[in-house]
Amino acid sequence: MPNYAIITGASGGIGNALARAFRTAGWSTLGVDMRAEAETTCDRFYLGSVSDPALANTIVNALRDEGATKCCLINNAARMLSKPFIETSQSDWDDVIATNLTAVFVLSQTLLPVLLGGSIVNIASVHARATSKGAAVYAASKGGVTAITRGLAIELAEHGVRVNAILPGAIATEMLRASVADDTSLEKLRELTPLQRIGKPEDIAHLALFLADPVRAANITGQDFVCDGGALAKLGTE
C-alpha cells in the first residue's frame, strides 16, 4: 500500500470525506488547506495555499525524508465563482485559476519524486463539460483540470504514475449551498437529476479510493469519471 494520500482542500466537505475514507482504508493522510478544520481528520496537516511552490517543497522534502514512495496526490482544493462574465475582474480570474488549476501543476510536478509508482486523482467538475450562467471562469478552470489530467497521464506513464479525474455534479457541501439561492432551488436541482438525489461527499471519496488502488485500478489512467447522478446524460430540453 502506498505511504500517503496527500489531499488538498482537506477542510472542505469532499476533502474531509476523502481523508476519512483513505484513513479507514489504511492510508496515512496528509491534508493541505487554507483553513485548519481538517487537522483532526488527517494524520498530518499543512496550512497554506495549494498553489504556493514553497509549501509544495516543504511537503515533498518531509515525505522524502521519511522514505515515502508510491503516494497518491488528490488535487481537490477548489474555489467557486458565481459572477456574470462581464463583471468578472482579472483578480477573480487569477484567484480561481490559481486554486483550481495552477495548484494541480505545482503539486503534481513538485511532489513527483514521492508519486513514482503511485497515482494522481484530480477533482474536476461537470462544469468542465456543461456549465451555466455566471460560471464561465470556474468552468474554464475545471476544463483545464481535465485537459492536464490527460496530458499528465501520457507523460507520467513512464514513471508508473496513473492520473485520472473525477467530475462531481451537485454534491452536498458548503460550496453547493453557497451557489444556490435557497432550499427551493436545491430541491429543483435534486428533481432534475435522474437519480433524484444530491450527491454525498462520500460518493466522491469512494470513487477516488478506487482510482488510487494500485491493484483494482492498475490499468486505468487518463480518464474522466463523472459522478453526478446522471445529470449530464439528460437532455436539457426534458
Would you name the residues annotated as active-site residues? 138
- Lay out the sheet containing 28-33: strands in order across: 44-47, 28-33, 4-8, 72-75, 119-123, 162-168, 224-227
Q: Pairing state of beta strands 119-123 and 162-168?
A: parallel
With CA atoms as reference, report the closest residue to 55 among 33, 40, 38, 35. Answer: 33
| Residue pointed to by grid coordinates 503534481 | 108
Q: On the CB side of 228, how many CA atoms lie within 13 Å of its CA?
A: 23
* Furthest-apart CA atoms within the chain: distance in Å: 56
Question: Across-strand partners of 127?
Answer: none
Task: Give alpha helix (H) positions in 66-135.
Answer: 90-97, 103-110, 112-115
Residues 163 and 59: their CA atoms lie apart, in Å, by 20
Exposure string of 90-105, with b = 16+ CB inside 10 Å and e = fewer, is eeeeeebbbbbbbbbe
Residues 11 and 68: their CA atoms lie apart, in Å, by 23
